[in-house]
Amino acid sequence: MPVRLLMSHFAVPYFNRYAKKSHVVLLGLLLTGVSNAYAADAPMGERRNADIDPNAPIAALDTLASLKNVPPLQFTLPKIQHFTTTTGTPVAFVATPNLPMVDVSVYFNAGSARDTAIKPQGFGLATLTADALTKGNARYDEEAFNQAVEQLGLELDAAAYKDMLIVNLRSLSDSAYLSPALTLLADTLRAPSFSENSLNRSKAQMMVALARQQEDPDAIAAQTFNRALYGNHPYAHPTLGTVDSVPKLSRKDVQAFARRFLVAQNANIAITGDLTLAQARALANQLTRAMPQGKPAPALPNAKPLTTSRHIHVPFDSTQTAVIIGQLGEKRRTDPVALQAQTDFAMANDIVGGGNFQARLMADIRKKRGLTYGIYSNMTPMQSQGSYTVTFSTRNDKTAEAVAASQAVLQDVVQNGVSQAELDLTKDAFINRFAQNFASNAATNATIGMMGFYGLKDDYLTNYVTRVQRANRDTVSQRYRTLIDPQRLLIVTVGQGDVTGASKPTGAANTNQSTSTP
299-308 confidence digits (pLDDT tens): 999 999 999 9
Contacts of 302 (CB under 8 A, 6+ apart): 331, 384, 385
Residue pair 95/276 in contact (Cβ under 8 Å)? The answer is yes
For the ranges 45-59, 113-127, 356-370, 434-448, the lowest mean pLDDT is seen at: 45-59
Burial of 222 (0-12, 13-18, 19+ CB in 10 A): buried
Mean pLDDT, to the nearest integer, of 50-68? 57
| Angle (nearest 5°) at CA 26 between 21 and 28 | 85
Q: Is the pLDDT assigned to residue 517 strictly greater than 70?
A: no
Neighbour tally for 308: CB within 10 Å = 12
Torsion of the alpha carbons at 176, 178, 184 and 186, rounded to the nearest 10: -130
Q: What is the pLDDT at residue 356?
A: 84
Burial of 420 (0-12, 13-18, 19+ CB in 10 A): exposed
CA distances from 329 to 64, 103, 321 (A): 44, 32, 24
Q: Name the residue among 87, 107, 108 with its Cα closest to residue 285.
A: 87
Domains and CATH numbers, the chain: 80-290 (3.30.830.10), 310-495 (3.30.830.10)
Q: Name the residue among 38, 46, 39, 41 with its Cα closest to residue 319.
A: 46
- Alpha-carbon gap, residue 79 to 82, rounded angstroms: 10
% of the chain beyond a pLDDT of 90? 79
For residue 74, name the pLDDT band (cuts at 50, 70, 90). Answer: confident
Q: What is the pLDDT at residue 47?
A: 34
Averaged pLDDT score across all residues of the chain = 87
Residue 328 — φ and ψ, nearest 5°? -65, 145
- Let me know how long the chain is: 518
One-letter-per-residue 3-state SS of 144-193: HHHHHHHHHCCEEEEEECCCCEEEEEEEECCHHHHHHHHHHHHHHHHCEC
- Alpha-carbon gap, residue 422 to 361, rounded angstroms: 13
For residue 3, name the pLDDT band (cuts at 50, 70, 90). Answer: low
Q: Name the residue among 373, 321, 348 with its Cα closest to residue 34.
A: 373
Residue pair 157/109 in contact (Cβ under 8 Å)? The answer is no
Strands 2-5 and 320-328: unpaired
- Alpha-carbon gap, residue 272 to 98, rounded angstroms: 12
- Alpha-carbon gap, residue 98 to 274, rounded angstroms: 7
Sequence letter at residue 222: A
| Angle (nearest 5°) at CA 343 between 338 and 349 | 125
- Alpha-carbon gap, residue 207 to 455, rounded angstroms: 35
For residue 86, name the pLDDT band (cuts at 50, 70, 90). Answer: very high
| Sheet order of strands, 90-95 included | 81-84, 90-95, 267-273, 101-108, 165-172, 155-160
